[in-house]
Chains A and B, each alone.
Chain A
Amino acid sequence: MKTYDAIVIGSSAGGLHALKNLIKGLKPGFRIPLIIVQHLSPHSENYLAHFLDQLGILKVKEADEREKIKQGFAYIAPPNFHLLIEADQTFSLTVEEKVNYARPAIDVLFETAASVYRERLIGIILTGANHDGANGVKVIKAYGGFTMAQNPATAESDIMPKAAIATGKIDKILDINEISYFLNSLNNS
Chain B
Amino acid sequence: MNTSENPDFDDSILQLEMELLLEALVRQYGYDFRNYNKAHIKRRLIFRMQQLGLKSLSELQHQILHHTNILATILKDLSINVTEMYRDPSFYLSLRKEVIPLLRTYPYLRIWHAGCATGEEVYSFAILLKEEGLYERSQIYATDFNTEVLETAKKGIYPVSKIKEYTFNYQAAGGKNSFSDYYTARYDAVRFDPELRKNIVFANHNLVTDSVFAETHLIICRNVLIYFDRSLQNKVLNLFNDSLIMGGFLGLGSKENIMFSTVQDHFLILNPNEKIFQKKILK
A residues contacting B by CB (< 8 A) are: 64-66, 78, 81, 84-87, 92-97, 108, 111-112, 115, 118-119, 142-144
Contacts and interface: CB of A to CB of B under 8 A. Distances in A.
A165 B150 CA distance: 44
Pick the most buried of B2, B43, B82, B256: most chain A CB atoms within 10 A of its CB: B43
30 contacts: A65-B226, A65-B255, A65-B256, A78-B255, A81-B226, A84-B37, A85-B39, A86-B37, A86-B38, A87-B38, A92-B37, A92-B226, A92-B227, A93-B255, A94-B37, A94-B80, A95-B80, A95-B83, A95-B223, A95-B253, A96-B80, A97-B82, A112-B39, A112-B42, A118-B3, A142-B3, A142-B8, A142-B9, A144-B1, A144-B3
Interface residues of B, number: 24
Interface in B32-57: 37-40, 42-44
B11 interface: yes
A64 B225 CA distance: 13
Given A65-B256, A143-B9, A93 B226 contact: yes
B82 A95 contact: yes
Contact of B6 (A87, A94, A108, A142): A142
Given A84-B39, A93-B226, 7 more contacts: A65-B255, A84-B43, A94-B80, A95-B83, A96-B82, A119-B1, A142-B8
A19 B8 CA distance: 34
- B interface majority secondary structure: helix
A112 B44 CA distance: 12
B230 interface: yes
Contacts of A66: 230
B105 to A, nearest CB: 33
A68 B193 CA distance: 46
Interface of B: 1-3, 6, 8-9, 11, 37-40, 42-44, 80, 82-83, 223, 226-227, 230, 253, 255-256
Contacts of B40: 84, 92, 94, 96
Report the 3 A-B pairs with minimum CB-CB distance, sorted nearest first. A84-B39, A92-B37, A112-B39
Contacts of A144: 1-3
Contacts of A78: 255
Contacts of B253: 95
A42 to B, nearest CB: 9
Contacts of A92: 37, 39-40, 226-227
A93 B252 CA distance: 14
Nearest to B169: A43
Given A86-B39, A94-B227, A143-B9, A64 B82 contact: no
A115 B10 CA distance: 9
Contacts of A143: 3, 9
B159 to A, nearest CB: 14
B236 to A, nearest CB: 14
B255 A64 contact: yes
